[in-house]
Amino acid sequence: MPNPPQVPESDIVKTLLENKERYLKEEGADLLHNQFGLEASEVAGVTAEFSKKREGLFGELMDISSEVGESWLVRQFPTISKWIDIFRNVGGKFIPGLKEEENLHSAQNEIEGWTAFASLFIPDSWLRNITDPIYNSDIFMGLVGHWPVGGDALASKISGSNGDPDHIIDAIRAMHQDVATGKVTGEVLFERVLKGLIPNFS
Amino acid sequence: MTHKDLVKSILKNLQLSTMEHKEKAMWTVMLPTMNEEELTKLNTVLEEEVDAIMDLYFAKNA
């Protein structure tokens, strides 16, 4: 049997990225039109109503405050779910005394797995509940803009897409990767990011 | 419904739902990790949506 033609991996990725938006957003409407003879606009009410219901169900699955140990998030991403629980319970404020380096390291695979899952599979309209407040945060955008490795490109991608959730998650993944692999050290963060964010910081 | 019947019903109804492909892929990936209670809830929502779409279809084509 002849070997199939080898396509360079970079081309596969490029093609997937180029067609991602069309595949994810337009094909559903085409399918609907072909199957039922109904335009997307004719079922817009049904689509919105049941998207909300499914979003509620998804929220139940992700809700680690109810039936701990039973939810999908707790089973699949136990360390991240604990962090979310901690941050939720303190209103998002950082807790002094936590050994964040150790915890970040042990959660590395989960952070990468969870952010990949969120970016690839969770609908953008649901993700915006989380990413819009991040996009509107001066601290986050300042951090991205001053990031030592390709920060300008990440920030312009986010701004240019009006806070596209995928671009925000991509930036979080890139920054996490830089810290986890030591590409961006605490010293560089201190010198470049903090001094960039706070002009009078010394 | 048994666990297997729930999964089969969900997979069929997913094809008829108006959700975008990204969300269809999400539920499909999550199915193996969901328990019966969660599967039942998802199946119920999907069945209701498909019923609503079919009502619209028959109203238009009556």
Predicted local distance difference test score (pLDDT) of residue A66? 52
> Which candidate in A20, A25, A30, A47 is best for mutational testing of the B interface (most B CBs within 10 A)?
A47
Where exactly are the structural domains of chain B? Answer: 3-61
Q: Output the pTM of the full model.
A: 0.68
Q: Is residue A38 part of a domain?
A: no
Q: Are B43 and B5 within 8 A, CB to CB?
A: no
Predicted local distance difference test score (pLDDT) of residue A71? 63
Q: What is the mean pLDDT of residues A156-163?
A: 92
Question: What whole-number distance in Å separates Cα of residue A180 and Cα of residue A176?
Answer: 6
Q: Which of the pair, A98 or A202, is modelled with greater confidence?
A: A202
* ipTM of the complex, rounded to two decimals: 0.88
Contact with chain A for residue B61, Cβ under 8 A: yes
pLDDT in tens, A93-111: 444 444 444 445 567 778 8
Q: Is the pLDDT of residue A13 over 70?
A: no
Q: Is the pLDDT of residue B9 over 50?
A: yes
Q: Is residue A162 part of a domain?
A: yes
Predicted local distance difference test score (pLDDT) of residue A155? 92
Predicted local distance difference test score (pLDDT) of residue B40? 94
Predicted local distance difference test score (pLDDT) of residue A114? 84
Predicted local distance difference test score (pLDDT) of residue B44? 96
- pLDDT above 90 covers a percentage of chain A that reads 14
Predicted local distance difference test score (pLDDT) of residue A94? 47
The token duo for A27 is 């094909």
Q: Is residue A23 part of a domain?
A: no
pLDDT in tens, A99-154: 444 445 567 778 888 888 888 888 988 989 889 999 998 888 988 988 888 888 99
* The residue to which tokens 């990767």 are assigned: A177
Question: What whole-number distance in Å separates Cα of residue A120 and Cα of residue A113?
Answer: 11
Q: Which of the pair, A92 or A116, is modelled with greater confidence?
A: A116
**How far from the centroid of its chain's Cα atoms is residue A88's Cα?**
18
How many folded domains does chain A comprise?
1
Residues of the domain holding A110:
99-202
Question: Which of A7-11, A48-52, A61-65 is most confident?
Answer: A48-52
Contact B57 A72 (CB under 8 A): no
Q: Are B50 and B15 within 8 A, CB to CB?
A: no
Residues of A in contact with B47 (CB under 8 A): none
Predicted local distance difference test score (pLDDT) of residue A196? 66
Q: What is the mean pLDDT of residues A81-98?
A: 57
Maximum separation of any 2 CA atoms in chain B, in Å: 41
Q: B18: distance to nearest CA of chain A, Å? A: 6
Q: Is residue A189 part of a domain?
A: yes
